[in-house]
Amino acid sequence: MTRIADKAKAKTAAGKRASARIAKARSQAPARKKPANPLLARWSAPFGLPPFKRIEPRHFKSAFAVALKEHKAEIARIAGEKARPTFANTIGALEKSGRLLEKVASVFYNLSGAHTNEALQAIERDMAPKMAAHETAIMLNGKIFKRVEDLYARRDALDLTNEQRRVLELRYKWLIRAGAKLNAKEKARVAEINQRLASLATQFSQNVLKDEQSWRMVLEESDLDGLPDALRESAARAAADMGLAGKYVITLSRSSIEPFLQFSARRDLREEAFNAWIKRGEMGEETDNRAISAEIIALRAEFAALLGFKSYAAYSLEETMAKTPGSVRDLLSAVWEPAVKRAADEREALQARARAEGGNFAIAPWDWRYYAEKERKALYDVDEASTRPYLTLDNVIAAAFETASRLFGLKFKELPDAPRYHEDVRVWKVTDKRGKHVGLFLGDYFARPSKRSGAWMSAYRSQSKVAGEISPIIVNVMNFSKGEEGAPSLLSLDDARTLFHEFGHGLHGLLSDVTYPSISGTSVTRDFVELPSQLYEHWLMVPETLERFAVHHETGKPMPAKLVSRIKKARNFNQGFATIEYLASAFVDMELHAREEEGAIDVGAFERDTLSRLGMPSEIVMRHRIPHFLHIMGGYAAGYYSYLWSEVMDADAFAAFEEAGDAFHAATAKKLHKHIYSVGNARDPLEAYVAFRGRPPEIKGLLKKRGLAG
């Protein structure tokens, strides 16, 4: 024992001397520098938020270069693996790869949508074909496909969890649908098509933004007849921001242009503003998207043909709930006829009102919103002026959070000192009912020139467990009008619904509970992804929400019961118009992508011919015309119908709570969490819905919700 103790002491003393030498050497050596590029460094901000203040446009080019090189090396190692394919060394390895690239790309593409500039746009144009080439090379890598195909053939004999089997089967299908079985010449053409499509889609989006940024209507005090105070204030603020103090400016931000069309008594100005709004993407030679969109459609058709499909729509729908263009047309047609009938009745009512006020003209598209607002006021005594004072942005956010707390047990704590990419962005820490960290939620609510129009949800980081517990960082981006300094921002009822809608998407990302990133959160089929968002809108109008959160911003009094009743009675007002406006866009999208003819088309003529065949009312214009239809030139190609498909489910799903007699019924909410919000794409979407509802969805709920039932 003594000898052992002596040896131990000697070893300890030697260890101490060695440690001292190492410490001295380290102290004399130059300090190791942190990476100069913050995108490549480890992020030390709370919960891994990007260090936005340190990130500059110049950092992205080198960061992308490093990240792409690293990902290519990872793919090469997987492809060159000598051992027989296993789930771990192939599928698991693929799921773990590309972490740095995902990190860099998530920051870049979120900024390019929400807070862009000319430098970022130049990088976006440069990176679009490079990223497409990189992704295509992986999807068409013969060695990778051979390994995945081997596993797929043996899937029944492998000891896989349900989630692993789902990921394997999906990845095999993704590779097939990307062209993995094509010959070398065909693969080369696919690579060319993908790169060209990426460049064209980027240019398309940037052109729309340029048109939105470049157009403005400068008004004098004498031009403001009919405009409510809130719109006057936001127009004055927009003018001041442009150096036009004392003037008023209407922009092509939806929060500016739509209320102007609703309230302006100046028909000539409404016409001017409306025409600018519908001509985004075709205002000038440099930003004209008509040729770009025609080429995109032609390239997609060629790609689908290479894979053996009659049309791009047939290709796109194969892996959705809808499955075929025919089933989509059936759904759209089932709603179109009652919507056209309703819109005709609405038009007659608006025409009568215009004549009663001395308007000796036929109702035109720029008149519809104006007279509809008057008709709503006359029939239901409801207008934006009566509802806005009760819908402050802060209260609507609080209502969305409280709903998530009651349904899913979530808690939200604002982090005022957290990094952010713009001073208007707000950050919240999200925890569950046990206090466990769930993720971070960012809210970017106000319109600005550096942000594209619309509203969306995205992720700076998606949830997964394949390489340790990764919590999500989710962002909602909107374009509301900002209140005066020191005054609350007041929302319209549509704005409030938009906030609830996007927060429903946000919850889909936050509540995700899967292992593999490829099936995390909103990585589901397009005609399922809108279910969690559209369903969440229902909770805005439940009595408990309105009683607590719809309170007057000055008096603190809740929205009067009579006003709530009038709002609910007016819920289906103008639904013929709203439904036609949407359906026309969905039909045009489907027909564009269902074309079996080859070659480019005249998109203007195609749009007119399609609407003519439909019997489109001349007083209504598509919600999104082709030259600015960002949805279908991006990720929703042949998929704009999905809002209606999901609406069938959301109306039917909320009925489950109504049948339970409680909008916050605990057992139903638990099933909703388990089968819809947390499951990602780990399960077939129809199976997931049936697991929640007990049966497939029924369309009667949709027709009732829109007031179109006979």
Residues known to be catalytic = 502
Sign, CA dihedral 39-45-47-52, equals negative
Cross-strand pairs, 461: 473
Query: What single DSSP character describes residue 357?
Result: T
User: What residues have CB less than 8 Å from 547, skipping those under 6 apart?
Assistant: 558
What is the C-alpha to C-alpha distance for residues 122 and 25, in angstroms, rounded to an integer?
A: 46
The CA-atom distances, in angstroms, between 6 and each of 15, 17, 20, 180 are 14, 17, 21, 67
Give Dmax (Cα) for the chain: 114
What is the C-alpha to C-alpha distance for residues 87 and 16, in angstroms, rounded to an integer?
A: 46
Query: What single DSSP character describes residue 468?
Result: B
How far the first Cα of the chain sits from its last, in Å, is 96
Question: Which of 298, 368, 293 is CA-nearest to residue 621?
Answer: 368
218: part of which helix (H) or strand (E)? strand 217-219
What region, left, alpha or beta, does residue 595 occupy, with left being phi > 0 and alpha being psi -120 to 50 degrees? beta
What is the C-alpha to C-alpha distance for residues 127 and 125, in angstroms, rounded to an integer?
A: 6
The CA-atom distances, in angstroms, between 282 and each of 449, 522, 528, 531, 587 are 19, 32, 32, 33, 21
In three-state secondary structure terms, 308 is coil
Cross-strand pairs, 443: 426, 476
544: part of which helix (H) or strand (E)? helix 543-549
What is the C-alpha to C-alpha distance for residues 96 and 517, in angstroms, rounded to an integer?
A: 8
Q: What is the CA radius of gyration of the chain?
A: 28
Q: Strands 217-219 and 248-250, how do they pair?
A: antiparallel
How many C-beta atoms surround the C-beta of residue 608 within 10 A?
A: 12
Torsion of CA 636, 638, 644, 646, to 10 degrees: -60
- Supply φ then ψ for residue 476, to 5 degrees: -110, 130
DSSP annotation string for 401-436: HHHHHHHH--EEEE-TTS--SSTT-EEEEEE-TT--
Q: 356: which 2 tokens?
A: 């009663």
What region, left, alpha or beta, does residue 85 occupy, with left being phi > 0 and alpha being psi -120 to 50 degrees? beta
Query: What single DSSP character describes residue 490?
Result: B
Residue 73 and residue 79 in contact, taking contact as beta carbons nearer than 8 Å: no
Strands (E), 492-612: none
Residue 149, classified by CB atoms within 10 Å of its CB into exposed (0-12), middle (13-18) or buried (19+), is: middle
Question: Which of 589, 680, 596 is CA-nearest to residue 639?
Answer: 589
Q: 92: which 2 tokens?
A: 């698991």
What is the C-alpha to C-alpha distance for residues 62 and 68, in angstroms, rounded to an integer?
A: 10
Cross-strand pairs, 474: 441, 459
Residue 375 and residue 348 in contact, taking contact as beta carbons nearer than 8 Å: no
- Supply φ then ψ for residue 426, to 5 degrees: -115, 150
